[in-house]
Structure formats: C-alpha cells, structure tokens
C-alpha cells in the first residue's frame, strides 16, 4: 500500500508541476518535506511519508516558513489524515487551518472497462485548439476557482502523457476530464459536469473514458483525489478510498 501512497503524491506533484507554473517549477526535498515551488508565487509542501509522525513539528513548520520568506511564496501544507490527527494541537497553536479535504482514491482495474452508454452523450479526446477552447470554457463555467487559461492548457495539450476529454450532449459541452500518466499510473483530474446535467451518469462516463483509453495501453492503475461530493461516484466505478489529505494554510491575521 505504501507504493500507492507514493504514486498518489507523485502523480499529484506532476499534475501541479504542469498546471501551476509550467516550466518554472522547482522541487526541493528536505528531511521533513517535499516542497514544490511554482512561478506564480505559490507553493506547496507535502509531509513525506503518510505514516510519518512528523517527529519535529516545529522544525517542519520552520522549514515551511523559510520557504515562504526565501521565495516570497504563499504555501499550502498537505498532510495525511493521520498526520493531521496526531498534530491537532500543534496545528492549532501555529494557526494552521484546513482549507480543503481530499479523499485519495485508487483503482486497479484488470477487467476491460465498460463505459456506460448515455443517450446523445459523445465523449472525445481533444485534438484541436478549437475543442481545447471549448474544454476550457466548460471547465470555467463549472469550477468556481478555475484559474486556468488558454496559454497554459495549450502548452500542456502537446504533452504526450496528458490528455483532455470533452463530453457533449447533442453538441452542447457538458463535461470535462483530464488524464495524466506518470510511472504507469494514470491520475484523473478536473472531472467536471455542468450542474444541470448531473445525476445522469455523465460523471461516470467522463471518468471511465480516459481510463478505458489508458487500459488499451496496458495501464490498470488509476488514482484521483475526490471531494466529499464525488466520492460516491468513484466508489461505484471501482475506486477504493486510500486515505484522506488535508490542505492547510497558515492564518497570519490576528
């Protein structure tokens, strides 16, 4: 299971590396942290081992502080649920507050993936700039905090290990997803379905489509991180909960 934890982190890091700062990304590994520095003045730190007790909490926090000062970056700290629970009082005393919670999920699917047939739904892997623009617009309309732009995603669409998927119902774009292959694992990201088209099975289809494509190339392992709302859908299509991660920010107001 430890391998899966590492794969989830590796895939997530690869994802952010590509989406946050494009080519200007630095990775810094210290005794306690894996720090990713993006060119957009943000960064995140991941405590290395999901079972790690973070033996010296203060030292670890100081490392984050140094990154913030040195690079003038805002920093998010990602901790597993176990690490979070073990450090509740420490986190409180240092004014860390969680801003998001993800459930890390993993699926190993060896049987041929079947994509549910939904009337009038057409999902395709994007290959043209025109479709990429539609993908972005659909994503932006669905995701409140989307900060992607055409320049970023255009550059990424040329990468062999990243694929964009767009779902349409009768020419109306309704869903997006993206797959990223890293170390023989495929991570699934940016799975969105427009509000008015939810609960029709489109979420399953837009998730399974890139998985089925990956399976054709011999990949059977898939990872994603889900919000509370999406968990049920992913469990239904064969994912299992691996662990939870909390994303913290340090509140400096007093």
Partner 1 sequence: MNTKMVYSKLQQIISDILEIDTGKINAETRNEDMAEWDSLKHVQIIDAVEREFNIKFDLLEIVDFESVADIAEAIENSTNEI
Q: Which residues bind partner 1 (CB under 8 A)?
A: 84-85, 88, 91-92, 95, 97-101, 144-145, 228, 246, 249, 251, 253
In the bound state with partner 1, the residue whose beta carbon lies nearer, of 97 and 172, is 97
Distance CA 93, CA 226 (A): 29
Q: How near is the Cβ of 97 to partner 1 at its closest, in Å?
A: 4
CB 153 within 8 A of CB 132: yes
Partners of residue 227 on adjacent β-strands: none
Task: For residues 133 and 165, give the distance between their C-alpha atoms in angstroms, rounded to a whole number.
Answer: 12
CB of 244 to partner 1, least distance (A): 9
Q: What is the smallest separation between the CB atom of 190 and partner 1, expressed in angstroms?
A: 16
Q: How far is the CB of 187 from partner 1 (least distance, A)?
A: 22
CB closer to partner 1 out of 149 and 227: 227
- CA dihedral 109→15→190→7, nearest 10 degrees, is 30
Of the pair 97, 150, the CB lying nearest partner 1 is at 97
Cβ–Cβ under 8 Å, residues 118 and 202: yes
Q: Which is nearer to partner 1, 13 or 42 (CB)?
A: 42
How far apart are alpha carbons 245 and 119 in whole angstroms? 36
The answer to whether 20 touches 42, Cβ cutoff 8 Å, is yes
Q: Give min distance, CB of 87 to partner 1, in A.
A: 10
Which C-beta is closer to partner 1: that of 6 or that of 244?
A: 244
């Amino acid at each position: 299971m430890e391998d899966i934890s590492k794969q989830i982190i590796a895939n997530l890091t690869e994802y952010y590396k590509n989406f946050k700062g494009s080519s200007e990304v630095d990775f810094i590994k210290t005794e306690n942290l894996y720090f990713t520095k993006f060119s957009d003045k943000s960064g995140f730190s991941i405590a290395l081992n999901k079972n790690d007790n973070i033996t010296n909490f203060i030292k670890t926090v100081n490392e984050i502080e140094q990154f913030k000062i040195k690079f003038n970056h805002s920093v998010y700290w990602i901790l597993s649920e176990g690490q979070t629970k073990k450090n509740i009082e420490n986190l409180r005393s240092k004014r860390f507050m969680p801003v998001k919670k993800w459930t890390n999920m993993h699926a190993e699917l060896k049987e041929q993936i079947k994509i549910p047939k939904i009337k009038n739904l057409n999902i395709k892997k994007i290959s043209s700039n025109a479709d990429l623009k539609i993908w972005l617009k659909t994503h932006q309309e669905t995701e409140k905090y989307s900060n992607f732009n055409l320049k970023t995603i255009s550059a990424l669409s040329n990468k062999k290990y990243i694929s964009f998927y767009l779902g349409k119902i009768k020419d109306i774009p309704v869903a997006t997803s993206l797959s990223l292959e890293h170390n023989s694992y495929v991570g699934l990201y940016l799975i969105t379905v427009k509000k008015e088209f939810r609960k029709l099975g489109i979420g399953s289809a837009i998730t399974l489509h890139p998985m089925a494509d990956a399976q054709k190339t011999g990949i059977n392992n898939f990872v994603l991180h889900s919000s509370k709302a999406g968990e049920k859908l992913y469990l239904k299509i064969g994912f299992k909960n691996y662990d939870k991660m909390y994303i913290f920010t340090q509140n400096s107001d007093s």
